[in-house]
Structure formats: C-alpha cells, structure tokens
Amino acid sequence: MDIFTSLAGFGGTLLGYLIPFLFVLTVVVFVHEMGHFLVARWCGVGIKAFSIGFGPEIFGFNDRHGTRWRVAWIPLGGYVKFIDDENAASAGQKSLDSMSEADRKISFQGKSLAQRAAIVAAGPIANFIFAILIFTAIFSVFGERITAPKVDSITPGSAAERAGFKPGDLVTSIDGTSITNFSEMQRIVATSPDRELHFVVDRGGAPVDLTAVPERKEITDRFGNTFKIGLLGIKRSASPDDWTLERHDPLTAFVMGVKECYFVVSRSLGYLYDVIKGREDADQLGGPLRIAQVSGQVATAGFLALLNLAAIISVSIGLINLFPIPMLDGGHLLFYGIEAVRGKPLSESTQEIGFRIGLAFVLMLMIFATWNDLIHLKFL
C-alpha cells in the first residue's frame, strides 16, 4: 500500500497532517538552501552551518570543510550561515576589519558583487529548477490524463448559455491561447472569475467566436475546503472511454514543466495584483497551518499528488523569496542593485533600517496568514 495513502487511516489527525507537511516543507527548504550552499561553496565562501529548521539542534554532523549540517526543532525554514554572518538571516555581518586575513579571503562580503548576487539568487532559482524537474517527471513518467475540450452539456442559466455555447462545441482557443485539453480550459476559466474571455470553438467544422464572463462561485472540494473560482457552466462527459493517459517524451515534458512553473508564477502574481486592486479577497492567503492541512489531505490521494504539491510550493517559495523585501533574498538583491548603481554599498545603518522594516513586514504577513489559517480551519 502507498505509504502516503495509508495516512488516510489517521482520519485527519495531527499526525496525518504533520508527516506529509514535514516531508514537503523539508524537501523544498533543503533544495532552496542547497542552491545557496552550492554556489557559495563554488565561489569559495566559508560556510559555518547548513540548517534545516531553526532553534535547538536535534542532530547534526561536521563535514571535512568544517560546515555543521544540522536539523533543528522548528521546521519552518532553514538557512546557510556564512563565516562572516552574525545571524541566520544574514541581516548582520562582521566587519571585515575585525576578521583575520584568512577569514577575509573566504568571507561573503569579500566576494565580488556578481558573486554575492549569484549566491543569493541561487536559492530561488534552485526552487524553480526543482519544480520544473518534478513537473517533467510527472508528465513523462506518470503521464497526463487528457480529454478533448468538448462541450457535452450546459447548465441552464449559466454564463456559458448566455454566451451562446452549444452542446458539441469543441473549444480550440481562449484569448488566443490554443486549447487541446479540457483541463486546460478549466484552469483558465477557474482563475478568471468576472473577467471577459474570448473563445473560439469548432462548431460543425466551422470556427465560431464567443465571449463569456465566468461567474464567481464558491465551491467545496471533497475535503470540505471552500474556494472562490470562476465557472462557466460547461460540463464534460465523465465516461472513462473519453479519457486517455499520455506519457510525453522527456523534452516535451520539460517544456511542459517550464510552462507549468510559469503558470504558477503568473497566477500567484495575478492573484496578489487582484488583491491590491480589490478584485480578490485576501482570505485565500495561507500560512504553515494551511500548508499542513492541504499536505495531509493531498497525501490521501497518493504520492503523485503530494509530489505535485511539493512542486507548487517550491515555485511559491522561490517566488516569494524574490520579492524586494529586506530579510528575503529579493531584498538582498535590491541592495546589490543599488550598490551596482552607486558604485558602493548602502551604509550599515541604512541596511539595518531596511532589515528592520523587512522583518516587521514579514512578521505581519505571517500573522495575517496564520489568522486566515485559523479561520479556515475553524479554530476561531
């Protein structure tokens, strides 16, 4: 029996959520920090510690370079600590003047601007590469379930009926994007509530242009979670004979993996933009508790579903870390960009203020996300 499917036997208990959550988060964090680690090692930076988690150490060991590899009690992140870092976030660093000549040569600060930027960017890039490889494996090894984007029936009074869809229509494109799979159409419609979409359908061999606005509806999945998505009211036959399983060659699967990664990024940014514009509710933002809940639920569907979730979370963590917020990788890259323009780094006091602001922002975001989690999990 699939070990993750067997977790369903825990009936949604804490352990049933915790094990998949730790599996997903540990793998994604390890990949992120390994990106920083490998490029830093390649650039000749001395590394004190590679940690999965924060706080007191559970277990660890020292490698031949003197780096402490450790697993800590608080599994909500990780870090790579360089020889000149004052803390795990690299928010404070020792003065080069206070270091020995030998330490200066292997210090992070002593490296060129390009090397420092590469080390910082390597974490998020590793997350994107990891996600693409997972998607590639899924499409090539496990395959893709495909059914034609054909309209079998239409819900009376729905957006599809008002737009003029007819049973038998075959959707060929949406807003200029070619559609070959019913799942592709579902995903575009679901992420476009209250937005005008332009469809081209094949009706009896002739192209027909249609315009529809998916209605924003609240749906409940099989786990009891509620979501607000766009719906047209188009139904497809659920007959197994209408579905095929297609395994793609590695190159095609890789291209599809890149597109899948791009979709997650574009959808995430689009959602945040809509929140800022007031078109979406911020209650869909989730934190560690929501990730734990979803991980446990997805695990009951099997290892493949959990693997797909790991890829999505990896993309999300990579993207979030690129936001130009001090404390995050994107904040460091922002400072390096300013340094490149000015020809010298910002003063230590200015950077310290930036890190304090960044820390406050990150903490407020975590509190808000956790509050949303508690609301959704019915703890409040």
Query: Per the residue annotation, which of 33, 196, 218, 339 is the catalytic one?
Result: 33
Question: Tokens standing for 97?
Answer: 């003047």
Q: Is the dihedral of CA 50, 56, 62, 67 positive or negative?
A: positive
280 is catalytic: no
In 3D space, the residue among 150, 123, 138 whose CA is nearest the CA of residue 260 turns out to be 138
Contacts of 113-116 spanning 24+ positions with Cβ under 8 A: 113/336, 113/339, 113/340, 115/43, 116/332, 116/336
Question: Tokens standing for 285?
Answer: 């933002």
SS3 label, residue 115: helix
Query: What is the rounded distance in angstroms from the CA atom of residue 290 to the CA atom of residue 286?
Result: 5
Contact 230, 190 (CB under 8 A): yes
Contact 230, 214 (CB under 8 A): yes
Give Dmax over CA atoms of the chain in angstroms.
Answer: 79
CA distances from 80 to 57, 144, 158, 317 (A): 14, 37, 53, 16
E strands in the chain = 47-62, 68-82, 144-146, 153-154, 170-174, 177-178, 197-203, 206-212, 215-220, 226-231, 234-235, 244-246
With b for 16 or more beta-carbon neighbours within 10 A and e for fewer, the 135-153 pattern comes to bbbbbbeeebebbebbbee
> Catalytic residue positions?
33
